[in-house]
Structure 1
C-alpha cells in the first residue's frame, strides 16, 4: 500500500464518491484512481466502497474504519510537511482563516493588521461562511483556523480556544421610545418589529431562547447575516435591531443609538478552532495570541493536548 492510494480513498469520499471529480482534484486520471483503490482493497482483503456496477456509492463498514486510519495517516503526513516548512521558513507561508461575516468585519481587522506587520511574508486568506461551514472548512483542510461564536464549540474533530466575550445591543433611531426606558425589558423589545441575525449566526439562539423563556413571540420582520444590513433597515424606521455589541460604533453609526442588553440575552464567547492533532506553524500561535491576548503558546499547546480545563474565559 502507498500514500497515493490513501489520497485517492480520502478524495473519493470528499468528492461524494465521484471518482472523476476526485481525479480532477488530484490532477490524475479516473482509471488510475479506480485501479489504485481496487489494488488497496485487494491488499487489505476487504471492500472499502459499496458499488453499483462500476460506480462506487458509499463506504462499507470496514471502509469506514479504513477511512479513519487514512485520515490519521494523511494528517501525520501533512504535519511532517509543515514541520519541514516551519524550519525552512518560519516567517513565511500561507495561512487561511475561515470565519463569519461579523468576525471578519468587526473583530479581525486590527488583529489582521497587526499580524501582517509581524509576518509580511505570510499570505493571509479569509474565507467566509456560517459557523457550521467554517468548522467544516477546517475539518476538510480548506482552512487552518476557524473563528465563530456558534456551533464550533462541540464540533467533532476540532479543538476550540475561547478568545473573547461580547454581548448584544439593541439599536434604534435617535428618537425611539425605547431610549426612554430606564431598564429595558424583553416585553418592551417584543412590542416592536425586530430586525436581527439569521438563526445560524451571532448568538441568535440565545436571543430566541430568552424570548421563549418569557413566552414571548416577537415579530421578526427581517433576518440577515450582516450587521450593516440590519442597521440600514433600522435607520429606515422598519424596526428595532439586535446586533453584536462589536458591530456598533457610535461615531460611525451616528444615525443610531445603542442600548446594552447583555442582562437579557447573556454573554457570548467567540472561539478559534483548529483541527485536532494539527501541526500549527509558529505564526498561527502568534495570530491566536493577538486575537486573545490572555492566551500564550503554552496554554494553546495544553488545550491542543486535551487539557481543556486549563483555560476558559
Structure 2
C-alpha cells in the first residue's frame, strides 16, 4: 500500500518514489508488476511501458489503502504514545494565514491522539516568529519559505500558489487565465503588512520587474483584505488555499503570471538541544502533511 501511495505522491515517477522508499527503481517496478499479476488487476495505466496514472481500479484501491494506512498510523501512534508517555507543552508559532488555512484539521487530530500534550499556539508574523525561535520563546514555527536567518533550519511541508482576489465586477473577472504581474501593479492593492513574509515576497515580485505597486492599505488580517475587496474596487494578493475554506460568492481568484509559489516550512533552530517531545511533534506534523499531500494531488486533478 505504501509503495503505491509513494508512486502517486511522486507524480508516477518510479525513480523518485524508489528513493523515498529506500529501494531501487527496478525492485519497485518488479514489486508492482508482481502485485498486479498475483491479484489479476491493473492498478496503473501505462504508455510505452511507462506508468502515467491510476486506473479506476487503482484509484479505488488507493482510496481504500489510504484509509487503512491512516488507521494503522493512528494505532501505532497510540501504541508509541502509551509506551513513551508523551506529555508536556510544546510552543508552536504559526503565521495567521497559515493557521487559518492549514491547521484546523491537524491541530484537532493531534489533540485527540495526544491528550497529554498541550500545543501552545503563538500567532504572529513570520519575522516576529523567527525572532521568537532565535530567542527560544517558541520550539517550532510554521513559516512561509524561505526563512531569512541562517540560524534556522526548515523543512518544506506544503506547497501551493499565491494569486489575486477581486470582486465579480472587477475588470480581472473578464480574464480566464493567470493575471500578469504588470497588470496587477496598476491596480489599487490591499496586502498583508511587512511583518509577513508574503509582503516581502510580493514587493520583490514587483521590484524585480521595476514596477511600483499602488498599495492602498496594509493590515495583519487576511479576512479584512478579502472583505475590503468585496466593498471596494481593489485587489488583494493571498495564498490560493484560502479558497478551500473561505471564498464569498462575489469574490473571484486568479493565479499570478509568472507563477508565484507559496511554500510553508516547519522551522527549528539549527543549534539546539534535542528534546524528545518537540521531536515527536515535529515528526507528527511532517508525517501528517506528507500523507495528506496525496489527497491534495487527487483533489487538484479533479478540479
TM interval, short-chain normalised: 0.5 to 0.7
Q: 1:139-178 alignment to 2 at 5 Å?
A: 139-150=134-145, 152=147, 154-178=148-172
Question: Deviations 1:164-202 (Å, cap 9, x if unpaired)?
Answer: 112112111112211112442223222321111213314
For residue 59 of structure 2, what is the aligned residue in structure 1? none
- In structure 2, relative to structure 1, the CA distance for the partners of 1:251 and 1:130 (3 Å cut) is closer
Distance in structure 2 (CA, Å) of the matches to 1:207 and 1:173:
20
SS of 1:254's equivalent in the other structure is coil
Cα deviations across residues 122-158 of structure 1 (Å, max 9, x unaligned)?
Answer: 1111002221221222222221101111562x52432
- In structure 2, distance between residues paired with 1:266 and 1:97: 27
Measure, in 2, the Cα distance between the counterparts of 1:232 and 1:104.
19
CA contact (8 A) 1:138 1:144 kept: yes
What stretches of structure 1 of length at least 5 have no aligned partner?
A: 1-85, 296-313
Please tell me whether residue 194 in structure 1 is matched to residue 189 in structure 2.
yes
1:273 aligns with 2:267: yes
**In structure 2, what is the Cα distance between the partners aligned to 1:252 and 1:181?**
18
Which of these residues, 206, 227, 230, is aligned with residue 211 of structure 1? 206
- Looking at structure 1, the residues matched to 233 and 160 of structure 2 have their Cα atoms a distance apart, in angstroms, of 26
Match for residue 242 of structure 1? 237
How many residue pairs match? The answer is 208
1:1-313 → structure 2 map (5 Å cutoff)? 90-150=85-145, 152=147, 154-183=148-177, 184-249=179-244, 252-261=247-256, 263-276=257-270, 277-280=272-275, 281=277, 282-293=280-291
Q: What's the offset of the Cα at 1:106? A: 1.4
Which segments of structure 1 move beyond 3 Å, counting only runs of 4 or more? 86-89, 249-252, 291-295
Q: Is the Cα contact below 8 Å between 2:167 and 2:233 reproduced in 1?
A: no
Structure 1 contact 193–220 (Cα < 8 Å) conserved? yes
Structure 2: which 5+ runs fail to align?
Answer: 1-80, 294-303
Shift of 1:236: 0.6
TM-score normalised according to structure 1 size: 0.60
**Normalising by the residue count of structure 2, what TM-score does the alignment of the two structures yield?**
0.62
The answer as to whether partners of 2:101 and 2:245 remain within 8 angstroms in 1 is no
